[in-house]
Amino acid sequence: MKKFITIGIVLVGIGFLGWQIYEKASVSSKNISSPRNKAAVAVEIAPVTKTSIREIGQFTGSLYPRSEFRVAPKIAGRLEKILVNIGDTIAGARLVAVLDDEEYRQEVNQAIAELEVARANSQERENALQNAEREYKRTVALREKKIASESELDAAKSEYNGQQAKLKVAQAQVSQKQAALQMAKVRLSYTQIRVPENHTANQRVVGERYVDEGAMLAPNTPIVSILDIGTLIAVINVIERDYPKIQSGLKAVIHTDAFAGQTFTGKVVRIAPLLMEKSREARIEIEIPNDQRLLKPGMFVRAQIEFDQHENATVVPIAALVKRNGQQGVFVVNRQARKARFVPVELGIVNGTQAEILNAQLSDAVVTLGHHLLEDGTNIILPNESLKDSALRKTGETDSTRDQKSGSGERS
Protein backbone atom coordinates (compact mmCIF):
# COMPACT_ATOMS: atom_id res chain seq x y z
CA MET A 1 0.00 0.00 0.00
CA LYS A 2 2.78 2.37 0.89
CA LYS A 3 4.40 1.44 -2.41
CA PHE A 4 1.37 2.61 -4.41
CA ILE A 5 1.15 5.87 -2.41
CA THR A 6 4.80 6.57 -3.13
CA ILE A 7 4.31 5.94 -6.84
CA GLY A 8 1.28 8.29 -6.89
CA ILE A 9 3.21 11.06 -5.15
CA VAL A 10 6.01 10.70 -7.68
CA LEU A 11 3.57 10.86 -10.62
CA VAL A 12 1.88 13.96 -9.20
CA GLY A 13 5.27 15.60 -8.74
CA ILE A 14 6.29 14.82 -12.30
CA GLY A 15 2.99 16.23 -13.62
CA PHE A 16 3.34 19.41 -11.59
CA LEU A 17 6.91 19.85 -12.81
CA GLY A 18 5.81 19.39 -16.46
CA TRP A 19 3.04 21.98 -16.03
CA GLN A 20 5.50 24.49 -14.59
CA ILE A 21 7.87 23.92 -17.54
CA TYR A 22 5.01 24.41 -20.06
CA GLU A 23 3.89 27.65 -18.42
CA LYS A 24 7.41 29.06 -18.45
CA ALA A 25 7.87 28.05 -22.11
CA SER A 26 4.60 29.75 -23.10
CA VAL A 27 5.50 32.96 -21.31
CA SER A 28 8.97 32.92 -22.83
CA SER A 29 7.47 32.39 -26.31
CA LYS A 30 5.11 35.33 -25.86
CA ASN A 31 7.92 37.53 -24.61
CA ILE A 32 10.03 36.59 -27.63
CA SER A 33 7.32 36.89 -30.26
CA SER A 34 5.75 40.07 -29.01
CA PRO A 35 8.68 42.36 -29.80
CA ARG A 36 9.08 40.70 -33.20
CA ASN A 37 5.46 41.40 -34.11
CA LYS A 38 5.88 44.98 -33.07
CA ALA A 39 9.28 45.44 -34.70
CA ALA A 40 9.55 48.23 -37.27
CA VAL A 41 10.50 47.37 -40.86
CA ALA A 42 13.28 49.24 -42.63
CA VAL A 43 12.07 50.41 -46.05
CA GLU A 44 13.07 52.45 -49.06
CA ILE A 45 10.66 55.13 -50.25
CA ALA A 46 10.12 57.26 -53.36
CA PRO A 47 8.07 60.40 -53.84
CA VAL A 48 4.70 60.50 -55.59
CA THR A 49 5.06 62.87 -58.54
CA LYS A 50 2.85 64.78 -60.96
CA THR A 51 4.28 64.48 -64.44
CA SER A 52 3.56 63.33 -67.97
CA ILE A 53 3.69 59.62 -68.67
CA ARG A 54 3.80 57.81 -71.98
CA GLU A 55 2.72 54.32 -72.88
CA ILE A 56 5.41 52.95 -75.16
CA GLY A 57 5.49 49.52 -76.78
CA GLN A 58 8.87 47.83 -77.17
CA PHE A 59 9.26 45.54 -80.21
CA THR A 60 12.02 43.84 -82.17
CA GLY A 61 12.25 43.05 -85.84
CA SER A 62 14.34 43.17 -89.01
CA LEU A 63 14.86 45.63 -91.86
CA TYR A 64 13.80 44.90 -95.44
CA PRO A 65 14.20 46.95 -98.63
CA ARG A 66 11.20 48.83 -99.90
CA SER A 67 11.38 46.73 -103.06
CA GLU A 68 13.57 43.86 -104.17
CA PHE A 69 13.70 41.90 -107.40
CA ARG A 70 16.08 39.78 -109.46
CA VAL A 71 17.14 40.69 -112.96
CA ALA A 72 16.97 37.65 -115.26
CA PRO A 73 17.04 37.08 -119.06
CA LYS A 74 13.87 36.22 -120.97
CA ILE A 75 15.82 34.10 -123.45
CA ALA A 76 18.59 31.52 -123.28
CA GLY A 77 22.15 32.41 -124.20
CA ARG A 78 25.74 32.85 -123.11
CA LEU A 79 26.41 35.72 -120.72
CA GLU A 80 28.89 37.94 -122.54
CA LYS A 81 29.20 40.91 -120.16
CA ILE A 82 28.06 42.01 -116.69
CA LEU A 83 28.20 45.78 -116.42
CA VAL A 84 27.40 46.15 -112.69
CA ASN A 85 28.65 44.70 -109.42
CA ILE A 86 27.60 44.49 -105.79
CA GLY A 87 26.89 47.91 -104.27
CA ASP A 88 26.62 49.79 -107.58
CA THR A 89 23.93 52.44 -107.78
CA ILE A 90 21.29 51.88 -110.43
CA ALA A 91 19.73 54.95 -112.04
CA GLY A 92 16.91 54.71 -114.56
CA ALA A 93 16.66 51.78 -116.99
CA ARG A 94 20.36 50.96 -116.80
CA LEU A 95 21.96 48.21 -118.89
CA VAL A 96 23.26 45.56 -116.48
CA ALA A 97 24.22 42.58 -118.70
CA VAL A 98 24.64 41.55 -122.34
CA LEU A 99 24.06 38.10 -123.86
CA ASP A 100 25.76 36.73 -126.96
CA ASP A 101 23.46 38.05 -129.74
CA GLU A 102 24.94 36.51 -132.91
CA GLU A 103 22.15 33.97 -133.31
CA TYR A 104 19.45 36.55 -132.74
CA ARG A 105 21.03 38.97 -135.23
CA GLN A 106 20.93 36.22 -137.85
CA GLU A 107 17.27 35.65 -137.04
CA VAL A 108 16.64 39.36 -137.68
CA ASN A 109 18.49 39.19 -141.02
CA GLN A 110 16.52 36.11 -142.01
CA ALA A 111 13.26 37.80 -141.10
CA ILE A 112 14.25 40.84 -143.21
CA ALA A 113 14.99 38.61 -146.18
CA GLU A 114 11.71 36.74 -145.84
CA LEU A 115 9.87 40.05 -145.64
CA GLU A 116 11.52 41.21 -148.88
CA VAL A 117 10.44 37.99 -150.60
CA ALA A 118 6.90 38.45 -149.35
CA ARG A 119 6.82 42.03 -150.56
CA ALA A 120 8.13 41.00 -153.99
CA ASN A 121 5.50 38.30 -154.22
CA SER A 122 2.86 40.82 -153.26
CA GLN A 123 4.08 43.19 -155.97
CA GLU A 124 3.93 40.37 -158.49
CA ARG A 125 0.36 39.53 -157.47
CA GLU A 126 -0.57 43.18 -157.72
CA ASN A 127 0.75 43.33 -161.32
CA ALA A 128 -1.07 40.13 -162.21
CA LEU A 129 -4.26 41.56 -160.78
CA GLN A 130 -3.89 44.70 -162.90
CA ASN A 131 -3.44 42.56 -166.05
CA ALA A 132 -6.44 40.42 -165.15
CA GLU A 133 -8.51 43.55 -164.57
CA ARG A 134 -7.61 45.00 -167.98
CA GLU A 135 -8.34 41.68 -169.69
CA TYR A 136 -11.67 41.44 -167.91
CA LYS A 137 -12.68 44.97 -168.97
CA ARG A 138 -11.62 44.30 -172.58
CA THR A 139 -13.65 41.09 -172.64
CA VAL A 140 -16.68 42.90 -171.27
CA ALA A 141 -16.39 45.49 -174.07
CA LEU A 142 -16.04 42.79 -176.73
CA ARG A 143 -18.99 40.95 -175.31
CA GLU A 144 -21.11 44.07 -175.58
CA LYS A 145 -20.18 44.19 -179.30
CA LYS A 146 -21.01 40.47 -179.65
CA ILE A 147 -17.41 39.74 -180.52
CA ALA A 148 -16.43 37.74 -177.37
CA SER A 149 -18.40 34.75 -176.30
CA GLU A 150 -20.06 34.26 -172.93
CA SER A 151 -17.49 31.66 -171.95
CA GLU A 152 -14.61 34.03 -172.66
CA LEU A 153 -16.24 36.61 -170.41
CA ASP A 154 -16.65 34.09 -167.64
CA ALA A 155 -13.04 33.00 -167.92
CA ALA A 156 -11.82 36.59 -167.77
CA LYS A 157 -13.94 37.32 -164.73
CA SER A 158 -12.75 34.17 -162.97
CA GLU A 159 -9.13 35.09 -163.63
CA TYR A 160 -9.71 38.57 -162.29
CA ASN A 161 -11.30 37.29 -159.06
CA GLY A 162 -8.52 34.74 -158.62
CA GLN A 163 -5.82 37.40 -158.90
CA GLN A 164 -7.64 39.49 -156.31
CA ALA A 165 -7.58 36.57 -153.87
CA LYS A 166 -3.93 35.84 -154.55
CA LEU A 167 -3.07 39.49 -153.89
CA LYS A 168 -4.80 39.36 -150.54
CA VAL A 169 -2.83 36.24 -149.65
CA ALA A 170 0.41 37.93 -150.66
CA GLN A 171 -0.43 41.01 -148.62
CA ALA A 172 -1.23 38.83 -145.59
CA GLN A 173 2.14 37.12 -146.01
CA VAL A 174 3.81 40.53 -145.99
CA SER A 175 2.07 41.35 -142.70
CA GLN A 176 3.11 37.98 -141.31
CA LYS A 177 6.75 38.51 -142.24
CA GLN A 178 6.65 42.01 -140.77
CA ALA A 179 5.43 40.57 -137.47
CA ALA A 180 8.14 37.92 -137.61
CA LEU A 181 10.74 40.63 -138.15
CA GLN A 182 9.44 42.60 -135.18
CA MET A 183 9.55 39.47 -133.02
CA ALA A 184 13.13 38.79 -134.12
CA LYS A 185 14.07 42.35 -133.21
CA VAL A 186 12.38 41.99 -129.81
CA ARG A 187 14.27 38.76 -129.17
CA LEU A 188 17.46 40.53 -130.18
CA SER A 189 16.66 43.32 -127.70
CA TYR A 190 16.35 40.69 -124.96
CA THR A 191 20.10 40.18 -125.22
CA GLN A 192 20.44 43.67 -123.73
CA ILE A 193 19.30 43.08 -120.12
CA ARG A 194 18.17 46.29 -118.42
CA VAL A 195 16.67 47.23 -115.07
CA PRO A 196 13.00 48.17 -115.51
CA GLU A 197 12.23 51.86 -115.21
CA ASN A 198 10.65 52.81 -111.86
CA HIS A 199 9.88 56.43 -111.12
CA THR A 200 8.90 55.76 -107.48
CA ALA A 201 12.24 54.23 -106.46
CA ASN A 202 14.80 56.79 -105.28
CA GLN A 203 17.94 54.78 -104.40
CA ARG A 204 18.36 51.42 -106.09
CA VAL A 205 21.55 49.40 -105.67
CA VAL A 206 22.86 45.99 -106.67
CA GLY A 207 22.41 43.64 -103.72
CA GLU A 208 23.79 40.32 -104.98
CA ARG A 209 25.46 38.90 -108.07
CA TYR A 210 24.62 35.29 -108.92
CA VAL A 211 26.57 34.41 -112.12
CA ASP A 212 29.81 35.26 -113.90
CA GLU A 213 30.60 36.19 -117.47
CA GLY A 214 30.69 33.24 -119.85
CA ALA A 215 27.95 31.27 -118.08
CA MET A 216 25.23 29.65 -120.17
CA LEU A 217 21.91 30.97 -118.96
CA ALA A 218 18.44 29.52 -119.30
CA PRO A 219 15.43 31.83 -119.37
CA ASN A 220 14.69 33.37 -115.94
CA THR A 221 18.13 32.55 -114.50
CA PRO A 222 18.91 35.30 -111.92
CA ILE A 223 21.89 37.51 -112.74
CA VAL A 224 21.78 40.23 -110.05
CA SER A 225 19.33 41.44 -107.40
CA ILE A 226 18.23 45.08 -107.22
CA LEU A 227 17.26 46.68 -103.90
CA ASP A 228 15.55 49.98 -103.21
CA ILE A 229 17.15 51.15 -99.95
CA GLY A 230 16.18 54.82 -100.07
CA THR A 231 13.30 53.80 -97.82
CA LEU A 232 13.44 50.69 -95.64
CA ILE A 233 10.67 48.64 -94.05
CA ALA A 234 11.02 47.45 -90.46
CA VAL A 235 8.89 44.35 -89.93
CA ILE A 236 7.84 43.63 -86.34
CA ASN A 237 5.45 41.09 -84.84
CA VAL A 238 2.87 42.32 -82.33
CA ILE A 239 1.16 40.07 -79.81
CA GLU A 240 -2.59 39.98 -79.35
CA ARG A 241 -2.53 42.26 -76.28
CA ASP A 242 -0.86 45.14 -78.15
CA TYR A 243 -2.52 44.60 -81.54
CA PRO A 244 -5.59 46.87 -80.87
CA LYS A 245 -3.24 49.71 -79.89
CA ILE A 246 -1.44 49.79 -83.25
CA GLN A 247 -2.79 52.36 -85.71
CA SER A 248 -1.55 53.45 -89.12
CA GLY A 249 0.51 56.63 -88.93
CA LEU A 250 1.85 56.07 -85.41
CA LYS A 251 5.39 57.34 -84.97
CA ALA A 252 8.11 54.78 -84.27
CA VAL A 253 11.63 55.33 -82.92
CA ILE A 254 14.14 52.82 -84.26
CA HIS A 255 17.38 51.69 -82.58
CA THR A 256 19.99 49.34 -84.00
CA ASP A 257 23.21 47.88 -82.61
CA ALA A 258 25.18 49.06 -85.64
CA PHE A 259 24.62 52.71 -84.65
CA ALA A 260 24.45 52.66 -80.87
CA GLY A 261 23.11 55.89 -79.42
CA GLN A 262 21.64 57.02 -82.74
CA THR A 263 17.91 56.89 -83.40
CA PHE A 264 15.90 56.77 -86.60
CA THR A 265 12.26 57.70 -87.02
CA GLY A 266 9.56 56.01 -89.01
CA LYS A 267 5.82 55.49 -89.06
CA VAL A 268 3.47 52.54 -89.17
CA VAL A 269 2.27 52.10 -92.76
CA ARG A 270 0.75 48.61 -92.89
CA ILE A 271 -1.05 46.41 -90.35
CA ALA A 272 -1.81 42.77 -91.08
CA PRO A 273 -5.55 42.05 -90.86
CA LEU A 274 -4.92 38.72 -89.13
CA LEU A 275 -2.85 37.13 -86.39
CA MET A 276 -0.89 33.97 -87.09
CA GLU A 277 -2.59 31.06 -85.38
CA LYS A 278 0.58 29.44 -84.05
CA SER A 279 2.26 32.53 -82.60
CA ARG A 280 -0.80 34.77 -82.04
CA GLU A 281 1.19 37.62 -83.56
CA ALA A 282 0.43 40.07 -86.36
CA ARG A 283 2.86 41.50 -88.91
CA ILE A 284 3.36 45.28 -88.68
CA GLU A 285 5.39 47.25 -91.23
CA ILE A 286 7.15 50.52 -90.35
CA GLU A 287 8.47 52.76 -93.13
CA ILE A 288 11.84 54.40 -92.35
CA PRO A 289 13.47 57.08 -94.56
CA ASN A 290 17.08 56.14 -95.31
CA ASP A 291 18.40 59.04 -97.37
CA GLN A 292 21.94 58.69 -95.97
CA ARG A 293 21.86 54.93 -96.62
CA LEU A 294 23.14 54.14 -93.11
CA LEU A 295 20.62 51.41 -92.44
CA LYS A 296 20.89 48.19 -94.43
CA PRO A 297 18.41 45.40 -95.13
CA GLY A 298 18.78 42.50 -92.73
CA MET A 299 19.76 44.58 -89.69
CA PHE A 300 18.18 43.71 -86.34
CA VAL A 301 16.23 46.65 -84.92
CA ARG A 302 14.33 47.62 -81.78
CA ALA A 303 11.24 49.75 -82.31
CA GLN A 304 9.48 51.96 -79.77
CA ILE A 305 5.91 52.94 -80.61
CA GLU A 306 4.10 55.50 -78.45
CA PHE A 307 0.50 54.40 -77.88
CA ASP A 308 -0.71 57.12 -75.50
CA GLN A 309 0.43 60.06 -73.35
CA HIS A 310 -1.16 61.62 -70.24
CA GLU A 311 -0.16 65.02 -68.88
CA ASN A 312 -0.09 65.96 -65.16
CA ALA A 313 -0.66 62.36 -64.11
CA THR A 314 -0.14 60.96 -60.60
CA VAL A 315 2.86 58.67 -61.02
CA VAL A 316 4.64 56.23 -58.69
CA PRO A 317 7.60 53.93 -59.36
CA ILE A 318 6.53 50.56 -60.65
CA ALA A 319 8.51 48.98 -57.79
CA ALA A 320 5.93 50.40 -55.36
CA LEU A 321 3.11 48.18 -56.68
CA VAL A 322 2.13 45.25 -54.46
CA LYS A 323 -0.81 42.91 -54.00
CA ARG A 324 -2.62 42.28 -50.75
CA ASN A 325 -5.65 39.99 -50.55
CA GLY A 326 -5.94 40.00 -54.33
CA GLN A 327 -5.96 43.82 -54.54
CA GLN A 328 -3.39 45.91 -56.41
CA GLY A 329 -2.12 48.79 -54.31
CA VAL A 330 0.74 50.73 -52.77
CA PHE A 331 1.97 51.40 -49.22
CA VAL A 332 1.71 55.13 -48.53
CA VAL A 333 4.19 56.56 -46.00
CA ASN A 334 2.98 58.48 -42.94
CA ARG A 335 6.13 60.29 -41.89
CA GLN A 336 4.74 61.66 -38.61
CA ALA A 337 3.48 58.33 -37.32
CA ARG A 338 6.24 56.36 -39.04
CA LYS A 339 3.68 53.91 -40.40
CA ALA A 340 2.80 52.48 -43.81
CA ARG A 341 -0.82 52.45 -44.95
CA PHE A 342 -2.00 50.14 -47.75
CA VAL A 343 -4.07 51.97 -50.40
CA PRO A 344 -5.78 50.02 -53.23
CA VAL A 345 -5.21 51.68 -56.62
CA GLU A 346 -6.44 51.51 -60.19
CA LEU A 347 -3.66 51.71 -62.75
CA GLY A 348 -3.56 53.72 -65.94
CA ILE A 349 -0.48 53.80 -68.16
CA VAL A 350 2.29 51.47 -67.00
CA ASN A 351 5.70 51.68 -68.66
CA GLY A 352 9.01 50.11 -67.78
CA THR A 353 9.70 52.25 -64.69
CA GLN A 354 6.54 54.14 -63.73
CA ALA A 355 2.84 53.54 -63.19
CA GLU A 356 -0.05 55.99 -63.37
CA ILE A 357 -2.54 56.01 -60.48
CA LEU A 358 -6.11 56.83 -61.52
CA ASN A 359 -8.42 56.45 -58.53
CA ALA A 360 -6.41 57.55 -55.49
CA GLN A 361 -5.20 60.97 -54.38
CA LEU A 362 -1.71 60.13 -53.25
CA SER A 363 0.85 62.51 -51.81
CA ASP A 364 4.24 62.48 -50.13
CA ALA A 365 5.89 59.09 -50.72
CA VAL A 366 5.33 55.36 -51.21
CA VAL A 367 7.35 52.32 -50.17
CA THR A 368 9.46 50.85 -52.98
CA LEU A 369 11.57 48.31 -51.08
CA GLY A 370 10.68 46.19 -48.07
CA HIS A 371 6.92 46.20 -48.67
CA HIS A 372 6.87 42.39 -48.78
CA LEU A 373 7.20 42.55 -44.96
CA LEU A 374 4.48 45.17 -44.51
CA GLU A 375 0.84 45.00 -43.59
CA ASP A 376 -1.59 47.89 -43.25
CA GLY A 377 -0.41 50.05 -40.33
CA THR A 378 3.02 48.43 -39.88
CA ASN A 379 5.70 50.57 -38.23
CA ILE A 380 8.50 51.50 -40.58
CA ILE A 381 12.05 52.78 -40.37
CA LEU A 382 12.70 55.46 -42.95
CA PRO A 383 15.96 55.74 -44.86
CA ASN A 384 18.91 57.25 -42.93
CA GLU A 385 17.13 56.44 -39.65
CA SER A 386 19.00 53.95 -37.44
CA LEU A 387 17.36 51.09 -35.55
CA LYS A 388 18.48 52.70 -32.29
CA ASP A 389 16.71 55.95 -33.17
CA SER A 390 13.59 53.99 -34.03
CA ALA A 391 13.62 52.17 -30.70
CA LEU A 392 14.11 55.42 -28.78
CA ARG A 393 11.30 57.07 -30.72
CA LYS A 394 8.93 54.21 -29.85
CA THR A 395 9.78 54.41 -26.14
CA GLY A 396 9.45 58.20 -26.20
CA GLU A 397 13.04 58.67 -25.08
CA THR A 398 15.04 61.42 -26.80
CA ASP A 399 18.72 62.13 -26.88
CA SER A 400 18.32 65.01 -24.38
CA THR A 401 16.42 62.98 -21.82
CA ARG A 402 18.91 60.16 -22.17
CA ASP A 403 21.75 62.59 -21.53
CA GLN A 404 19.95 64.01 -18.49
CA LYS A 405 19.54 60.55 -17.03
CA SER A 406 23.17 59.69 -17.55
CA GLY A 407 24.22 63.00 -15.99
CA SER A 408 22.10 62.57 -12.87
CA GLY A 409 23.53 59.08 -12.40
CA GLU A 410 27.03 60.47 -12.44
CA ARG A 411 26.21 63.15 -9.86
CA SER A 412 24.78 60.64 -7.49
- 95 and 142: one domain? no
| DSSP letter for each residue of 344-390 | E--EEEE-SSEEEE-S----SEEEEESGGG--TTEEEE-TT--HHHH
Q: What pLDDT shows up at residue 19?
A: 61
β-strand partners of 238: 282
**The pLDDT of residue 348 is above 80:** yes
102-144 vs 150-189: helix crossing angle, rounded to 10: 160
Confidence of residue 231 (pLDDT cuts 50, 70, 90): very high
Per-residue pLDDT at 359: 83
Give the model's pLDDT for residue 411.
40
Residues 259, 182 share a domain: no
Do 145 and 203 lie in one domain? The reply is no
User: Identity (one letter) of the amino acid at 59?
Assistant: F
**Percent with pLDDT over 70 in the chain:** 83
Of the candidates 294, 265, 73, 8, the one whose C-alpha atom is nearest the C-alpha of residue 82 is 73
Q: Which of 309, 324, 343 is the last residue of a domain?
A: 309
pLDDT classification of 392: cutoffs 50, 70, 90: very low
CATH at 249 = 2.40.30.170
Pick the more confident residue, 253 or 412.
Answer: 253
- 3-state per-residue secondary structure call for the chain: CHHHHHHHHHHHHHHHHHHHHHHHHHHHHHHHHHHHHCCCEECEEEECEEEEEEEEEEEEEEEEEEEEEEECCCCCEEEEEECCCCCCEECCCCEEEEECCHHHHHHHHHHHHHHHHHHHHHHHHHHHHHHHHHHHHHHHHHHHCCCCCHHHHHHHHHHHHHHHHHHHHHHHHHHHHHHHHHHHHHHHHCCEEECCCCCCCCCEEEEEECCCCCCEECCCCCCEEEEEEEEEEEEEEEECCCHHHCCCCCEEEEEEHHHCCCEEEEEEEEECCCCCCCCCEEEEEEEEECCCCCCCCCCEEEEEEEEEEEEEEEEEEHHHCEEECCEEEEEEEECCCCEEEEEECCEEEECCCEEEECCCCCCCEEEEECHHHCCCCEEEECCCCCHHHHHHHHHCCCHHHHHHHHHHHHHC
Ranked by mean pLDDT, the top range of 59-63, 360-364, 393-397 is 59-63
371 neighbors 331 (Cβ within 8 angstroms): yes
pLDDT in tens, 301-341: 999 998 888 888 899 999 999 998 888 999 999 888 889 99
Q: Is there a single domain that holds both residue 150 and residue 81?
A: no
> Residue 410 — pLDDT band, cuts 50, 70, 90?
very low
Count the neighbouring beta carbons within 10 Å of the beta carbon of residue 240.
Answer: 11
CB 150 within 8 A of CB 143: yes
Q: What are 144-158's pLDDT values in tens digits?
A: 888 888 888 888 888
Render pLDDT for 107-125 as a digit per residue (tens, 0 to 9). 999 999 999 999 999 999 9
Question: What percent of the chain lies above the pLDDT cut of 90?
Answer: 52
Residue 127 lies in a domain: yes
Report the pLDDT averaged over residues 37-65: 88
pLDDT band at 401 (very low <50, low <70, confident <90, very high): very low
Shared domain check, 129 and 178: yes
Tell me: do 181 and 240 sit in the same domain.
no
Give 291 or 303, the one with higher predicted confidence.
Answer: 303
Asked, for residue 143, whether it belongs to a domain, the answer is yes
> Which range among 22-31, 144-153, 158-167, 261-270 has the greatest average pLDDT?
261-270
Q: Which of 207-221, 313-327, 350-364 has the lowest average pLDDT? A: 350-364
**pLDDT for residue 37 is more than 60:** no
Mean pLDDT confidence for 367-387? 83
Count of the separate structural domains present in the chain: 4
CA distance 39 to 194: 84
Instruction: State yes or no: pLDDT of 233 exceeds 80.
Output: yes
| In a shared domain, residues 279 and 148 | no
Query: Is 179 within the bounds of a domain?
Result: yes
Q: Residue 11: what pLDDT? A: 62
On whether residue 218 sits in a domain, the answer given is yes
pLDDT at residue 405 above 90? no
Would the pTM of this model clear 0.85, i.e. be above it? no
Q: Domain containing 95: what range? A: 72-99+194-225
Q: Final residue of a domain: which of 253, 283, 309?
A: 309
Distance, CA of 70 to CA of 21 (rounded, Å)? 94
- 94 residue type, one letter: R
Please check the confidence at residue 281 and state whether its pLDDT lies above 50. Answer: yes
Alpha carbon distance 328, 347 (integer Å) = 9
Confidence of residue 171 (pLDDT cuts 50, 70, 90): very high
